Amino acid sequence: MKPAAFRYHAPRTEEEALAILAAVAPEDGRILAGGQSLMPTMAFRMARPAHLVDINGVAAFGLLAAEGGVLRIGPCVRHAMLGAPLVGGPLGALLGTVRRHIAHLPIRTRGTFCGSLAHADPASEWCLVSATLGAEMVLRSVGGTRRVAAAEFFQGIMTTALAADEMLVEARLPLLAEGTRSGFYEFSRRPGDFAQAMAIATFTLDGGVMSAPRLGLGGVEDRPCRLPAAEAMLDGQPPSAALFAAVAAAALPGLVPMTDDPHRLRLAETAIIRALSRAAGLPE
């Protein structure tokens, strides 16, 4: 057996899960949701949690519903569930496109959206989606509930605002307005491998000019980020290859890449241009 021994807990309700987590957090107790990142780490014994709180038996954690302008995503919603047929509209179209870049099908049937956010790998596609669209995270412990914006939630490589006894009980993604266009581009060395650079662009086209643009970049810095200066350059302008190239070039000097790999910034530039071009329906 490769993983080190641990004590297994299988709560059936949220209250029970939070109570167990509060009790075992000081002894390196962790939540087990999809386990698709945690289990490989345990197989290498890089993680040796003394307790695992398996939340897969909590029925309410399967929450997936569009309500009040947001998509509410519970902790046991799998990657494979995000997009058609369960999530429709422009947000569903974006999620369905992004989903295909997350590992492989047998991983997507187990791994969870909230688990990816809590893990906060800089190469995580769902972290980029959350940062770009401005998701709100609902953090809960036996002590109470906090709501944290994506910009404050992601704090660095595999580091989030979550305290040891807190659990991400819900992520709320703003629905995209009807007619919103979106584009996603990711560069990875092999299909399903970690992103070296990726970008998401969303905007609407009103009278031929871009409105409410959002542009996010992931896999380059230690956390996913929005690029507000780039968004300001896009706002009110007609989409064009020349503008997108100028926006990408302008974004580069402000970036702090995780590695000194000289290609990383060029990949970032390409990802930004291609995500914008895909959203606009322009050739890449």
**Sign of the alpha-carbon torsion through 189, 266, 93, 152:** positive
Q: Which position among 110, 136, 146, 265 is part of the footprint of another protein (CB under 8 A)? A: 110
Residue from the set 12, 13, 15, 44 that interacts with another protein by CB under 8 A: 44
Q: Which of 13, 43, 62, 157 binds another protein (CB under 8 A)?
A: 43
Determine, following the binding rule CB under 8 A, whether residue 195 of this chain makes contact with another protein.
no
Exposure string of 217-248, with b = 16+ CB inside 10 Å and e = fewer, is: bbbbbbbbbbbeebbebbeeeebeeebbeebb
Minimum Å gap between C-beta 45 and another protein is 11
Nearer to another protein, 81 or 176 (CB): 81
Q: Does 96 bind another protein (CB under 8 A)?
A: no
1 touches another protein (CB under 8 A): yes
Q: Which is nearer to another protein, 27 or 235 (CB)?
A: 27
Residue 227 C-beta-side C-alpha neighbours within 13 Å: 31
Question: What's the min distance (Å) between Cβ of 44 and another protein?
Answer: 7
Q: How far apart are CA 84 and CA 26, in angstroms?
A: 40
By CB under 8 A, tell whether 192 contacts another protein.
Answer: yes
Q: At closest approach, how far in Å is the CB of 35 from another protein?
A: 6
The least distance separating another protein from the CB of residue 56, rounded to whole angstroms, comes to 6
One-letter amino acid of 247: V
Give the residue carrying structure tokens 């995209």.
176
Q: Using CB under 8 A, which of the segments 105-113, 168-176, 237-245, 257-265 binds another protein?
A: 105-113
The residues binding another protein (CB under 8 A) are 1-8, 10, 35-36, 39-40, 42-44, 50, 52, 54, 56, 100, 104-107, 109-110, 190-192
